[in-house]
């Protein structure tokens, strides 16, 4: 079966887009002569820049004037005349787009509401890594086994910026990146815990804070509370791929269940992540051998949702408060063979 023009739709969060990169690569392995377009939102498009497997990135600004954006994207898709569409995303909007665009072969998971718009419905996997679930969408066309390694492609300019920033750190020390932010407040390990941890780390490690512009004040609050003024606060100063280039040079990323975790996995930097309201069985956990997830096992209220909440539904936040800074510090000492 041959397809000349293929569309992949992934209009969810940054982490979801990064977790889709093995599927993007695998599609080109199965259909090497095809043209592959990827539909994403503007906020995540930077993650796909320079990706050699993508012919065109199409933007769908669904967080703005959604109705107008839908009409505009639909016109683009009709003009592109795709023959095959993949959608790991299962929303009604995505289903309508690929159906109304007239794409004859439409592949996704057999779940509501998108299943009503699909020609090929893959069983919904009950567990496992999300990357592996996404790759199952290719099972209609290939029985190959594909790599699960995610990928990002910083440019030379991105790497040069990372190199310039690196001149500010002590080359004799290991470097730890920290990303204390998250879109969802209950997915954030408490700022005071980050500050306590940073106070323990500051004499032995270079510390670099990563995040969005909205998280810059949070990062600075932690730095100030820990009296760690030597730490670099890069939150809001870097693009997605510039962040990737910096994280790639680090020895460890400490973060929440967030986009930063997925960036670190994509550039193969080890991850220590905090999972509070979310759990690994959702499939979004860090997957490399040296990665580690801190969580409170067997807590009666976990999980309380795939995305967390603005505040703890049980009003105790035990899933994060019971992960103590000393526990994290002990794991870091083991990793870096710190004796005291």
The pLDDT value recorded for residue 281 is 86
Contact 156, 45 (CB under 8 A): no
Q: State pLDDT tens for residues 171-216.
A: 899 999 999 999 899 999 999 999 999 999 999 999 999 999 999 9
Task: Establish if 286 belongs to a structural domain.
Answer: yes
Does residue 153 lie in a domain region?
no
125-130-133-138 Cα dihedral, nearest 10 degrees: 160
Phi and psi of 122, rounded to 5°?
A: -85, 140
Taking the C-alpha atoms of residue 62 and residue 52, their distance in angstroms, rounded to an integer, is: 26
Instruction: Note the pLDDT of residue 48.
Output: 98
Q: Tokens 């941890």 map to which residue? A: 197
Query: What is residue 242's predicted lDDT score, i.e. its pLDDT?
Result: 98
**Cα–Cα distance between 20 and 22 in angstroms, integer?**
6
- Whole domain around residue 112: which residue ranges? 5-139
- Write down the pLDDT at residue 340: 65
Question: What pLDDT does residue 257 have?
Answer: 94
Q: Indicate if 306 and 189 belong to the same structural domain.
A: yes
Torsions phi, psi of 135, nearest 5?
A: -65, -25
Whether residue 228 sits in one domain with residue 194: yes
Residue 133 tokens, joined: 């679930």
Q: Which residues, at least 6 apart from 178, have a Cβ–Cβ distance to it below 8 Å?
A: 194, 198, 207, 208, 209, 210, 219, 222, 253, 254, 255
Residue 51: per-residue pLDDT: 98
Residue 151 lies in a domain: no
> What DSSP string describes 260-299?
HHHHHHHTT--EEEE-SS--GGGS-S--STT-EEE--TT-
**Do 183 and 261 fall within a single domain?**
yes
Q: Which residues of the chain have pLDDT under 70?
A: 340
Q: Are residues 220 and 132 located together in one domain of the fold?
A: no
The answer on 167 and 126 residing in a single domain is no
The answer on 310 and 180 residing in a single domain is yes
Residues 162, 131 within the same domain: no
Q: Which two tokens stand for residue 219?
A: 């990062």
The residue from 139, 169, 188 where one domain ends is 139
Q: What is the pLDDT of residues 144-183, one digit of tens each?
A: 999 999 999 999 999 999 999 999 999 899 999 999 999 8
**According to the model, what pLDDT value does residue 96 have?**
96
Backbone angles phi, psi at 142, to 5 degrees: -160, 150
Neighbours of 320 (CB within 10 A): 21
Q: What is the DSSP string of 124-145?
A: --SSS-HHHHHHGGGGGT----
The pLDDT value given to residue 339: 77
How many domains does the chain contain in total? 2
CA distance 273 to 291: 8
Give dist(CA 198, CA 192) in Å, integer.
10
* Under 8 Å between Cβ of 262 and 301: no
pLDDT given for residue 63 in this prediction: 82
The angle at the Cα of 68, spanning 67 to 73, to the nearest 5 degrees, equals 100
Count the Cβ atoms, other than its own, within 10 Å of residue 127.
10
């Amino acid at each position: 079966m041959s397809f000349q023009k293929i569309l992949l739709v992934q209009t969810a969060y940054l982490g979801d887009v990064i977790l889709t990169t093995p599927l993007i690569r695998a599609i080109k392995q199965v259909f090497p002569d095809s043209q592959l377009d990827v539909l994403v939102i503007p906020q995540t498009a930077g993650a796909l820049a320079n990706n050699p497997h993508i012919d065109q990135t199409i933007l769908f600004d669904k967080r703005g004037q959604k109705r107008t954006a839908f009409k505009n994207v639909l016109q683009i898709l009709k003009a592109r005349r795709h023959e095959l569409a993949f959608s790991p995303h299962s929303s009604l909007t995505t289903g309508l787009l690929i159906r109304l665009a007239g794409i004859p072969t439409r592949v996704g998971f057999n779940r509501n509401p998108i299943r009503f718009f699909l020609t090929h419905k893959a069983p919904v996997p009950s567990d496992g890594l999300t990357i592996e679930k996404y790759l199952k969408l290719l099972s209609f066309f290939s029985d190959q086994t594909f790599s699960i390694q995610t990928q990002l492609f910083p440019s030379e300019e991105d790497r040069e910026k990372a190199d310039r920033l690196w001149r500010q750190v002590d080359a004799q020390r290991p470097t730890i990146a920290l990303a204390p932010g998250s879109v969802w407040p209950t997915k954030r390990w408490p700022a005071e815990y980050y500050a306590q941890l940073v106070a323990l780390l500051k004499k032995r490690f270079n510390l670099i804070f990563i995040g969005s512009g909205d998280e810059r004040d949070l990062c600075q609050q932690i730095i100030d509370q820990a009296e760690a003024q030597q730490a670099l606060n890069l939150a809001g100063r870097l693009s997605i791929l510039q962040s990737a280039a910096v994280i790639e040079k680090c020895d460890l990323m400490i973060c929440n269940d967030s986009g930063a975790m997925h960036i670190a996995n994509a550039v193969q930097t080890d991850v220590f992540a905090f999972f509070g309201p979310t759990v690994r069985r959702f499939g979004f956990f860090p997957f490399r051998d040296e990665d580690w997830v801190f969580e409170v096992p067997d807590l009666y209220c976990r999980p309380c949702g795939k995305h967390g909440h603005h505040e703890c539904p049980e009003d105790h936040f035990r899933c994060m408060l019971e992960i103590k800074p000393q526990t994290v510090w002990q794991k870091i000492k083991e990793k870096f063979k710190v004796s005291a």
